[in-house]
Chains A and B, each alone.
Chain A
Amino acid sequence: MSTRFWQSLPFQTGCSIALGSILLTLVLSISVYNSTVETVIDDSNHRISQLISTVEISAAIAAYLENNELGLDITRGLIRNDIVSGVILHSESGMRIISGSPFHFKDNDVLLFPLVSPFMADEKVGGLFVKPNQNNIDAQAKKTAELHVVTLAVHSLMITLFVIFLVNSRLTKPLMKLAGALHKIEPGSDERLQYPKQHMNDEIGLLVRDINQLLGSAKNTLEGERRLREYVETLEKQTRKEAERDPLTNLLNRRSGERAIAKALKKSEADNTRCAILLIDLDRFKPINDTYGHEAGDQTLITIADRLTNTLRKSDIVIRWGGDEFLIMVRQGHSDLKINVVAEKILQALAADIAINDTVRESIGASIGISLYPEHATDSALLFDLADKAMYRIKRSGRNGYSIHEPAGMKSQA
């Protein structure tokens, strides 16, 4: 979450500005120094001109009279000024008076002041060569330039600090706050970023608005996906159910019923319990189908299935075996398996009248064949077969009854 200081926006911005201002200061310093030197030289020359104008008449007299004493007095006086390093006073007829450090009068920086006769303005009597004090000029230029550079540097430093402060307070802090707030928001939740008060209408406000829009659309997307997943799950469950169940009666179909029975037999073997297979064939279903139509037939089957389910325990397996055949597996509970009682109950349930339509009620009745595990067989296919045979026996002998397989060929009839 936290950024290292030297990677932070204020520091980087500050560094850039500092670097820029250092470069600028350097470049400016050079030009400032050069222009300062020029200014100082101009200033010095101006002061020298003023200085010379005060001694001009005396110098002219000295040159006019070739008076060494007066000339020396003037040149010595001149070099006492720290802006002058050397002076030559010469006259037209050859007098030369030199004071201060020696120099060549043809040097670039040497100033020449011509002297005219004090009495005849058109007569040139000599001149003053003045060498400005370079050290003084340099020192003064340096001092002024240094002041400029220090001012510039302080200025740059102040601006840099101010920009760092501004970037920090106006940009980084709100951004960090946003980042922190965004970090806490769970994708897909209803939480949104708060608009920072000072940044309602600037880029940060815009960013918050966009982020909130993004959060909103992320939420919608996630929700859509969740709904889709739920839908797929429901669909899968339904498909599985449809594969296992008979669509009309919602009982187990034959295939999944066989599987359930095989599983139950294995469990009985392990638990050493008993089971019974009851194969039920409806006695008067076909005439109803023929007389009142398939819809009435379907309705009848649904009613029969409901009655079977209601009559039996939850742990018993009820299968639509095919057409108007049902197969039931009854398992031994805590007490002994009383198959006769069960069979009687089923017969009773199926014998009751069924409302075909508003006016007609019919009793269907059923024939039940029963085989027992493990007395008759342990193999499910064989158990089915034995039950089937027992059921046919009852059908032949008058219907609406049950028959338990008799291995010894004995007959039992209800």
Chain B
Amino acid sequence: MNQLLRLIFIIIALLASPLQAGVVVIVNSENATSDFSQRQLVDLYMGRDLYFSNGEMALRLDQSPTSKVRHDFYKNLVGKSVAQINAYWARLLFTGRASPPQVISDSEGVLKAIRNNANAVGYINESELAPGVKVVARVD
């Protein structure tokens, strides 16, 4: 009985795991930053603090507005929908001071941009991780 329950649990976990894969924040593996707190991440992506701890300005990368990863990222990070985040930036657009992260169409592009720029920061599905980048935060 007990063994049967455990087996069922494992099967469910296996089935669910690819769907539930977390979103990870990545930087160039040469970037000195080892990890971000949630607050640092929020301030970075919402345009409050655009600098790494070493004083270098971060190049923030966003994914396609329709992508699931972008939806998950903002939902998990600040509890807001993509549309709400768009509204946020739209509100700030006229001030000319704050700008949203640069949009890259897919995870491949994000990985490529990070590998090429030591100060770039982006997010992808954990399952899409590839060499040349390092995870500095998990957004669950």
Contact = CB atoms under 8 A, between A and B. Distances in A.
A118 B88 contact: yes
Contacts of A70: 91-92, 95
Contacts of A414: none
Interface in A61-86: 61, 64-70, 73
Given A119-B78, A119-B80, A120-B39, A69 B91 contact: no
A119 B91 contact: no
Nearest to B96: A69
Interface string B85-128: 00010011011111000000000000000000000000000000
Contacts of A69: 94-97
B47 interface: yes
Contacts of A119: 42, 46, 77-80
Given A67-B97, A67-B98, A120-B42, A61 B92 contact: yes
9 contacts: A61-B91, A65-B47, A65-B48, A67-B92, A67-B98, A68-B97, A70-B91, A118-B78, A120-B78
Q: Which residue, of A65, A66, A119, A120, has the highest number of chain B Cβ atoms within 10 A?
A: A119
A123 B79 CA distance: 15
Contacts of A118: 46, 78, 88
B97 A61 contact: no
Q: How large is the interface on A (under 10, 10 to 19, 20 to 34, 35 or more residues)?
A: 10 to 19
A58 B91 contact: yes
The 7 closest A-B pairs by CB, nearest first: A69-B95, A119-B78, A119-B42, A70-B95, A65-B48, A67-B95, A65-B98
Interface residues of B, number: 17
Contacts of B46: 64-65, 118-119
Contacts of B78: 118-120
A163 B46 CA distance: 76
Interface of B: 39, 42, 46-48, 77-80, 88, 91-92, 94-98
A68 B94 CA distance: 12
A68 B95 CA distance: 8
A324 B88 CA distance: 160
A71 to B, nearest CB: 9
A78 B91 CA distance: 17
Contacts of B47: 65
A65 B91 CA distance: 12
A357 to B, nearest CB: 158
A69 B47 CA distance: 15
A109 B32 CA distance: 51
A78 B39 CA distance: 31
Contacts of B48: 64-66
A64 B77 CA distance: 16
A65 B99 CA distance: 11
Contact of B88 (A61, A68, A123): A61
Contacts of A123: 39
A65 to B, nearest CB: 5
B58 to A, nearest CB: 16
A228 B94 CA distance: 122
Contacts of A66: 48
A127 B125 CA distance: 38
Contacts of B80: 119
B37 to A, nearest CB: 11
